[in-house]
Structure 1
């Protein structure tokens, strides 16, 4: 089995995370997929940003939930790469989906509904997936497994992935109980026996965030269904 390579927040090791320039770079180097994070603005728009606040990755301050889309769009999300790439907008999920019409890249949409309980986040995301007919191209994931159950109730066909940081006993059974198709564990807990048994039971395994070359090689040797990395070009050069 070939281990797929997903660019974490695009190509976050070399470009401003969760921006169009970062997603385009992951596609340019040949990544199989991208991973991105979805939050909701004050006026109910789906935007791509990891943190619940804009403080770390932009020149602004405040909670995403308290800012309108117009206010969000004024912020520079170039983060630590400002001197290299200049001004970068926070994109909407719709903008990413529109761009994805030009390629075949898979899209892992992580719903950030753990700390902030965004009303209608699951419904709006799934409605947009259906609008673009991306049911076979999108993987929905979250650390909030209640949200994943809700997604499964809303759609019987979109792939669902459970994110977790620590060991879960027999995660393939847990995934089956929640009607999830895959698990996305933090890479240190993606032990060989867990990966092999889960995939034997039909559950895909895509560990995150795999940036060290020895871990890339280890996980690809099992093999995992995919690895999620900040450095998709490095992973492709190593594993292809």
Structure 2
């Protein structure tokens, strides 16, 4: 059965990367979450996608230039103007300890090389005993390899925007157990071959019905979607098939 990961939580209906979006994804019945982390000026791990706070909050400027206490004053829920702060990863982990959701953590260190980010995230994963439920991903494959070198027990998965030749060979070479490609970057044939070679495939961000059906049809490992409710509805149709 193809697992459904809620992209930045249930972001189709709630403010992305907020505790509300994560809790609503769980209520909807998602198997897991996908979220993004960055570091504040004073080294706190916070959950936000963009390097700047401008798009998703009431503030302006780079995440790395804010002290944690000042970042918390911003409203990350511009969707309905209800005050909700940018979550700290510790908050999300505390909540994850109350359920069984999987969690894909994307290290947002492609543009800004946050020093010590990998260690901080891994330390928290161990502190909250979430080793078996976390996948660390990044477009920065050096960071993925480094994460594996310091914590081989935690699953890693490189992110891809474009297709690569024989992705299972590359993925095994960097000791990752999964690959997270853009949904349009891998053909059915390549996805199936990758899975047959023991690599999990979790494409992002799959929102259209036709694309969701395609991935359920080939029994893809998982998919990452903004709308877990829609995805679950379509998955049910495939579960009913003989």
Q: Same fold (TM over 0.5)?
A: yes
Distance 2:201 2:190 in 1: 9
Structure-1 separation of matches of 2:128 and 2:112: 26
The aligned length equals 236
1:238 offset after TM fit, Å?
1.3
TM-superposed CA distance for 1:157, in Å, is 1.1
**Secondary structure at the counterpart of residue 188 of structure 1:** coil
Q: Which residue of 1 aligns with 2:239?
A: none
Aligned partner of 2:194 in structure 1 is 198
Distance in 2, matches of 1:227 and 1:156, equals 24
- Following superposition, the deviation at residue 102 of structure 1 comes to 0.9
Whole-angstrom distance in 2 between the partners of 1:229 and 1:24: 15
Q: Distance in 1 between matches of 2:10 and 2:76?
A: 14
**3-state DSSP of counterpart to 2:94:** helix
Q: State the Cα distance separating 1:158 from its structure 2 match.
A: 0.5
Query: What TM-score comes out, normalization by structure 2 length?
Result: 0.96
The equivalent residue for 2:240 is: none
The TM-score normalised by the length of structure 1 is 0.97
Superposition RMSD in Å: 0.7
| Residue 3 of structure 1: aligned partner | 2
Alignment of 1:70-149 (within 5 A): 70-79=69-78, 81-83=79-81, 86-149=82-145
Unaligned residue ranges in structure 1 (runs of 5+): none
**1:190 to partner: Cα distance:** 2.3
In the TM superposition, residue 101 of structure 1 has moved relative to its aligned partner by 1.1
Whole-Å separation in 2 of the counterparts to 1:92 and 1:185: 27
Instruction: Name structure 2 gaps, 5 residues minimum.
Output: 237-242
Deviations 1:120-158 (A, max 9, x none): 000000000011111100000000000000000011111
Q: Secondary structure in 1 aligned to 2:113?
A: coil
Q: Aligned partners of 1:71 and 1:190: how far apart in 2?
A: 42
Provide the rounded CA distance (Å) in 2 between the counterparts of 1:39 and 1:224: 29
| 4+ aligned runs moved over 2 Å, structure 1 | none
